[in-house]
Amino acid sequence: MHVTWVPGEGFFANAFVVGSVLVDAGVTPMAVRQHKDTIETIILTHCHYDHIAHVREIADMCDAAICIHRRDAQGITDEGLNLSIHFGARTPPLIPDRVLDEGDTIADLTVLHTPGHTPGSICLWNEKSGTLISGDTVFTDGGFGRFDFPGGSITDLRRSIERLAGLPVEGLWPGHGEPVSTGGWRHITAALRLITGAYG
């Protein structure tokens, strides 16, 4: 599976283009403009502002549908949930075109509900290639997303990472930091050891 990495700048999250799908929309419209004729769907891994900041502009530019897990759908416009105030920003009213659930498939990506960072955090999995787009659930430095924001849960996050550790992940494409194309499972195993050792 071919994944194009669009690096996030500063505090803003990475985005990824997979065929006709854009995953996350914290990057500027100009950063994905070269893909505007192929992007048909935008999948948001969760509702935090650094992942959704430019979703409306990108969706309008590409005429793309916006998708998010049903448990984070309210967070797109709830500034207490999406943390936009921490970025000195406001979020305009926006209703997703589709709410996602565990097991849904878009293109070749399967939705894995991995709560903990937020109630509706998801990862996107392609079993055939061993590709995991992990949002802020796990990172390639063996770290994991914060759980002290509204709706976060250390218990849920640990369970989510335990679940991911059971997958044969090769390519790991996180919401922040650099992706890896092989051995992604090692990074997930390191995150599991860290969260288990530090928080039981």
Q: Residue 30, Cβ neighbours under 10 Å: how many?
A: 11
Residue 17, domain extent = 4-199
For the whole prediction, is pTM greater than 0.85? yes
| Whole-number Å distance between alpha carbons of 64 and 32 | 13
Q: Is 19 helix (H, G, I), strand (E, B) or coil?
A: coil
CA distance 114 to 137: 7
Count of the separate structural domains present in the chain: 1
User: How large is the angle between the packed helices 154-165 and 184-199, nearest 10 degrees?
Assistant: 150
Q: What is the pLDDT along the chain (200 residues), one digit of tens a residue?
A: 999 999 998 889 999 999 999 999 999 999 999 999 999 999 999 999 999 999 999 999 999 999 999 999 999 999 899 999 888 888 877 899 999 999 999 999 999 999 999 999 999 999 999 999 999 999 999 999 999 999 999 999 999 999 999 999 999 999 999 999 999 999 999 999 999 987 76
Tell me which residue of 118, 107, 110, 124 sits closest to 153, measured CA to CA.
Answer: 118
pLDDT, tens only, 82-122: 999 888 888 877 899 999 999 999 999 999 999 999 999 99
Residue 195 sits in a domain whose CATH number is 3.60.15.10
Dihedral sign, CA of 79, 195, 166, 179? positive
Tens of pLDDT, residue by residue over 23-33, are 999 999 999 99
Contact yes or no for 181/171 (Cβ under 8 A): yes
Are residues 45 and 136 in contact, defined by beta-carbon separation less than 8 angstroms?
yes
